[in-house]
Amino acid sequence: MFRPRRPYPSHPVPGTPGETVEVTLELPRRAFEIWDEA
């Protein structure tokens, strides 16, 4: 199992919290798709 990394460690807090949640869910999803195709 891998721990999803924060997309922008030094990035300021985005205006909309939903944006951070969306990116946090999107990265593991893409990583799983790439791993699933391998």
Q: What is the DSSP letter of 18?
A: H
What is the pLDDT, as a whole number, of residue 24?
73
pTM for the whole structure = 0.34
What is the pLDDT, as a whole number, of residue 36?
85
23 near 6, Cβ under 8 Å?
Answer: no
- Which residues are within 8 A (CB) of 31 and not within 5 positions of it... i.e. 6 or more apart? 2, 4
d(CA 27, CA 25): 6
What is the pLDDT, as a whole number, of residue 15?
58
Q: What is the pLDDT of residues 1-38, one digit of tens each?
A: 566 666 555 555 555 566 666 677 778 788 888 888 87
Give Dmax over CA atoms of the chain in angstroms: 36
